[in-house]
Amino acid sequence: MNFWDYVSSRQQQLLSDTYQHASAVFQCMLIAVVLGVGLAALTYRNERAGRIATLTTGTILTIPSYALLGLLIPVLGLGVPPTVTALVLYALLPIVRNSIVGLRGVDPALVDAARGIGMTGLARLVRVELPIAWPTILTGIRVSTQMSMGILAIAAYASGPGLGNEIFSGIASLGSANALNEVLAGRWHRGARPPLRRRPRAAGAPDRIGGYPCLTPPPPPSVRRSPTAPRSPAPPSNWST
């Protein structure tokens, strides 16, 4: 079965996984935008506070995906909670950094003019500063969205939704007929895995050795060496002392 036949035979499942993948990224990005822009709005006026916000979110981004999921699983369990938490944390840095840069780049004359006509701080932020800084903020949102699309595939390690389950399925079934198709299609299909089979065992061979199941045929008796049998003498050394 080639790749296109594999996709066409599992079209409904692929569409369902694709919808879950896109929906999870979209919802996580909404949460990250609210948190990231809000954090930037609270810290952009203070140089030290802005530096701390950028450093904190940047430190989170340096944690490997597997390590962060491994830390979240004992606390939040498997499934959606650790997936959403990891995606939101990873998406914060580009949004926070670009929001701070964009808000600080607003012309001070416009802010003074808004203050002069009696606008409050919140009104100036919502009606003047954020609209001007929005193109820069949107760039950070786009970077976070692209990054989250890939990280969500790794979240299948925590039983997260999306296309990552199919990738892990294909990697786990390397050597099967559809392993490459599963990785490329990015969908989950347990039934595509061939069952594991034991190698044929020689007649009269024991099923267990030392209390453990014998999965491969043991060596013939002529090859086995008794624990009390003397070892062969080592060959003489050619090095002279």
pLDDT, residue 6, reads 64
Place of tokens 């989250």: 148
pLDDT in tens, 160-200: 887 777 776 666 666 555 555 555 555 433 334 443 344 44
Spatial separation of the C-alpha atoms in residues 64 and 94, rounded to whole Å: 17
Domain boundaries, the chain: 11-162
pTM over 0.75: no
Q: Does domain 11-162 have CATH number 2.40.50.140?
A: no
